[in-house]
Chain A
Amino acid sequence: MPAVQETIDQVRQIDVDQYKYGFETTIEMDKAPKGLSEDIIRLISSKKNEPEWMLEWRLQAYSRWQTMEEPSWARVRYPKIDFNDLHYYAAPKSTSGPKSLDEVDPELLRVYEKLGIPLKEQEILAGVEKSRIAVDAVFDSVSVVTTFKEELKKAGVIFMSISEAMREHPDLVRKYLGTVVPQSDNFYATLNSAVFTDGSFVYVPKGVRCPMELSTYFRINEKNTGQFERTLIIADEGAYVSYLEGCTAPQRDENQLHAAVVELIALDDAEIKYSTVQNWYPGDKQGKGGIYNFVTKRGDCRGKNSKISWTQVETGSAITWKYPSCILRGDGSRGEFYSIAVSNGHQQIDSGTKMIHLGKNTSSRIISKGIAAGVSENTYRGQVSAHRKAENARNFTQCDSLLIGDRCGAHTVPYIEAKNSTAQFEHEATTSKISEDQLFYCLQRGIPEEAAIALIVNGFVKEVIQELPMEFAVEAQKLIGISLEGSVG
């Protein structure tokens, strides 16, 4: 029908070329030569003044990785990655561990400013910015600055780059690193274990409610650089923390690899809320360039009555391969996964979650909203399983897909496995199109097509948007608009 055809055309036209954050910054970089070898790993480790055990750990992962094969079960297609054609370390030259914002390269601060990231504590404190969020900014491979450190310290919260934590809190890092996502977990996680360069570390001590949102902004800037961050968050007994992750990268013709690992650990009665707004460069109209996002995110509800909640808004990347999961080990623990995945142009998304019920009376909830436009492919892949001992495990899963145009695809692949007969798993799935009637109704009220689609789509994802912290909710709604642009205002 004509109206829909027009929408499709518009989506096609604008799609990803309008990537808002696609500027490149020229900053002097300190880069390792291309390629991966033990020597490169030693170089990374020594650049970061790491303890000996860390180097051992990396080398072990590397030798393991050499025996592994790239997984091929996901519904994504891409040319083979030449892992020797990448730089595994790149750091802005002038920022070998700034003590305060004054020491950060002003050019870098300008980059973050352009991205709208509140790095300047003074401004925030002076009330220029309404929200108070502590930020750890990761530029290419290195964490350049962490804000609000002092205030967090007073509360006993440790929030710093993971390389710093390795030096300042080696016992904590050693105790928890790799305990949720083991070194040998999967191809990308193992690669990450060998070569990760930085990321954030959070420890919230017993009974402490983290006084502000913690946030990391990742930016890939250098050409041919793989970005391998490692994030480790621990909420000790009765602690609470909310963590936000945002990402951008410049527009480039070549694909860039991003393979992060995030580990969350919640002890007794602790709660971790992890929110992501992923906006990596998706590639151009022809599907050239864009980020390959192969990420392993997993949370361990290790303690009783602990809770881990993942909320993600995925709008960017050429390829997304990502399954934030929860291991519900502690009795009475709860896992949640709220997801919005928007694909347009030639983007391919294969994302979902795993809820692994091990403890008694554990519960989980999955709400997934996939929106596909252009010639994109959007797959939800989810696994819910109950162990033999997981008495009274409960899961509710709802997967809704919305198609814009008729050249895109949405797929739902649920795996359900209950080894305990008391488990109660519910699964609901719907696929719909924005109807001609809805579109015409909006147009008739004077709402142009782009704005109408934005409105309808935002209605469709509302349940998930509500789970995001305020600041992110607004940003996410705008982002969904931008990524469907041409169809969205």
Chain B
Amino acid sequence: MLEIKNLHARIAEDGTEIIRGLNLTVKAGEVAAIMGPNGSGKSTLSYILSGREDYEVTEGDILYNGESILELDASERAAKGIFLAFQYPVEIPGVATMQFLKVAMNEQRKYRGEDELTTPEFMRRVKEAAAELKIAPEMLRRPLNVGFSGGEKKRAEILQMALLEPKLCVLDETDSGLDIDALKIVADGVNALRSPDRAVVVITHYQRLLNYIVPDTVHVLYKGQVIKSGDKTLAHELEANGYAEIIEAAA
């Protein structure tokens, strides 16, 4: 589903290279975990995947379902099914969460040539998905992410993911800031989306999340490269020993 080949990318403004020859393949139905020390380029990778224009790809390619997506802008990639749950969700003052959801869902439908959702159908879907994630209806009337607690923001991200039904879900530290109950709810939300035609990329620092969302593969990112890949046991190893050994071995 996703094939990243020898990707090099830099910050457009000052030319600093952040991703330096990164290779990664994620198959449909797979859950891949990406781990790595602070500042290794995990969030940057998620931005580049989703088409943020602050970064320039200088070499390599990103294939999604076999086709390069480098020429597509962020909204096109989203409409084609790439979703990013942000490490730091952004506040949109004055725009009710509900309204935002409706615009997003309908814009994606429009792009794919589908009819807009009727209001009752939209409401039904939102209510159902919100209930699953234990999100109170009042929250949906508030401006998106404005004044939401850290945990509420993360839950709102997963709500959007559930409603937009993407094919490639990238979760950037969705577990940070969640209490134990919320972690479980969010993990259940993600697991409910697992399906043979959907891939999930989980960026995290902790094994804790991976106990709930069990990954098929684990990749260690360091200085803009994947320096080691393995199965779920790799995450346990990292939890026990830290990154030092792996980094040394790769050097």
The chain A residues found within 8 Å of chain B, CB to CB, are 1-3, 435-438, 440-449, 451-452, 455-456, 458-463
Return chain B residues, CB-CB under 8 Å to A459: 92-95, 143
Residues of A within 8 A of B12 (CB): 1-2
Q: Which residues of A contact B51 (CB under 8 A)?
A: 443-444
Cβ A445 vs Cβ B95 within 8 A: no
Distance of A169 from chain B, by nearest CB (Å): 44
Q: List 28 A-B contacts (CB under 8 A).
A: A1-B13, A1-B53, A435-B90, A436-B54, A440-B47, A440-B52, A440-B74, A441-B90, A442-B75, A443-B75, A444-B51, A444-B74, A444-B84, A445-B78, A445-B107, A445-B108, A445-B164, A446-B78, A446-B111, A446-B164, A447-B107, A448-B75, A451-B103, A451-B107, A455-B92, A456-B92, A456-B95, A459-B94
The reply to whether B104 and A445 contact each other, CB–CB distance below 8 Å, is: yes
From A443, A456, A458, contact of B78 by CB (8 A): A443
B residues less than 8 Å from A436 (CB atoms): 54
Expressed in whole angstroms, the minimum distance between the Cβ of A156 and any Cβ of chain B is 40
- Contacts A455-B103, A458-B95: A443 and B73 contacting too (C-beta < 8 A)? yes
Interchain CB contact under 8 A, B54 and A447:
no
Interface residues of B in 55-109 (CB under 8 A from A): 73-75, 78-79, 83-84, 86, 89-95, 99-100, 103-104, 107-108
Asked whether, in the complex, the Cβ of B79 is within 8 Å of the Cβ of A446, the reply is: yes
Nearest-neighbour CB distance to chain B for A312, whole angstroms, equals: 18
Pick from A441, A461, A463 the residue with the most CB of B within 10 Å.
Answer: A441
B148 to A: closest C-beta gap in Å: 14
Give CA–CA (A284, B81) in the complex, Å. 39
Enumerate chain A residues within 8 angstroms of B143, measured Cβ to Cβ: 459
CB distance from B201 to the nearest CB of A (A): 14
Residue of A nearest to B53 (CB): A2
Closest residue of chain B to A457 (Cβ to Cβ) is B94
CA A435 to CA B92, docked complex, whole Å: 10
Q: Judge whether B160 is part of the interface by a CB distance below 8 angstroms.
A: yes
By a CB distance below 8 angstroms, the chain B residues around A446 are 75, 78-79, 104, 107-108, 111, 164
In the complex, the chain A residue whose C-beta lies closest to that of B145 is A441
The docked-state distance in angstroms from the alpha carbon of A107 to that of B195 is 61
In the A-B complex, the 5 residue pairs with the smallest Cβ-Cβ separation, listed nearest first, are A459-B94, A443-B74, A459-B95, A446-B78, A446-B108
Complex Cα–Cα for A459 and B90 (A): 14
Instruction: Point out the residues of chain A lying under 8 angstroms from B99, CB to CB.
Output: 455
Residues of chain B within 8 A of A449, CB atoms compared: 75
Contact present for A441 and B75 (CB under 8 Å)? no
Query: Which of the four size classes fits the interface of chain B?
Result: 20 to 34
Contact yes or no, B92 A448, CB < 8 A: no
CB within 8 Å of A: which residues of B?
Answer: 12-13, 47, 50-54, 73-75, 78-79, 83-84, 86, 89-95, 99-100, 103-104, 107-108, 111, 143, 160, 164
Distance A236 CA – B91 CA, assembled complex (angstroms): 46
A451 and B83 CA atoms in complex are apart in Å by 18
- For B52, list chain A residues within 8 Å (CB): 440
Q: Which residues of B contact A461 (CB under 8 A)?
A: 94
A462 touches B94 (CB 8 A): yes
Could you tell me the dominant secondary structure of chain B's interface residues? Answer: mixed
Report the minimum CB–CB distance from B203 to chain A (whole Å). 15
Q: Which of B13, B86, B94, B111 contacts A458 (CB 8 A)?
A: B94
Give A441 to B145 CA distance when docked, in angstroms: 12
Contacting residues, chain A, for B73 (C-beta < 8 A): 443
Nearest CB in chain A: distance from B168 CB, A? 12
Residues of the B chain whose Cβ atoms lie less than 8 Å from the Cβ of A437:
90
Which residues of B lie under 8 Å from residue A451 when comparing CB positions?
A: 103, 107
A457 to chain B, nearest CB (A): 9
Cβ-closest chain A residue relative to B94: A459
The smallest beta-carbon distance between B5 and chain A, in angstroms, is 23
Question: Roughly how many angstroms separate A185 CA and B108 CA in the complex, as a whole number?
Answer: 55
Q: Determine the chain B residues whose CB is within 8 A of the CB of A438 once the complex forms.
A: 90-92
Closest to A437 in B: B90
| CA distance in complex: A452, B104 (Å) | 9
Query: Which residues on B sit within 8 Å (CB–CB) of A1?
Result: 12-13, 53-54
Instruction: List, in ascending order, chain B residues with CB within 8 A of A440's CB.
Output: 47, 52-53, 74, 90
**Which partner residue on chain B sits nearest A462 by CB separation?**
B94
* Interchain CB contact under 8 A, B164 and A2: no
CA distance A449 to B53 in the complex (A): 13
How far is B51's CA from A442's CA once the two chains are assembled, in angstroms? 12
- Contacts A445-B108, A446-B75, A446-B111 aside, 11 further interface pairs with beta carbons under 8 A come to A1-B53, A440-B52, A441-B86, A441-B90, A441-B92, A443-B51, A443-B75, A445-B100, A445-B164, A449-B75, A456-B95
| Bound Cα distance A435, B51 (Å) | 16
For A3, list chain B residues within 8 Å (CB).
Answer: 53-54
Contact of A455 among B47, B54, B100, B111 (CB under 8 A): B100
A463-B95 Cα distance, complex, nearest whole Å: 11
Q: How far is the CA of A204 from the CA of B166 in the complex (A)?
A: 58
Which residues from B are CB-within-8-Å of A441? 86, 89-90, 92
State the Cβ distance, B3 to closest chain A Cβ, in Å: 21
A1 CA / B52 CA spacing, docked (Å): 11
A461 to B83, CA, bound (A): 29
What are the residues of chain B within 8 A of A455 when measuring CB–CB?
92, 95, 99-100, 103
Knowing A438-B90, A449-B75, A455-B103 touch, does A444 contact B95 (C-beta < 8 A)?
no
For residue A383, give the distance in angstroms from its CB to the closest CB of chain B.
Answer: 27
How distant is the Cα of A445 from the Cα of B86 in the complex, in angstroms? 11
State A1–B14 Cα separation when bound (angstroms): 11
Compute how far the CA of A462 lies from the CA of B111 in the bound complex, rounded to whole angstroms: 27
B143 to chain A, nearest CB (A): 7
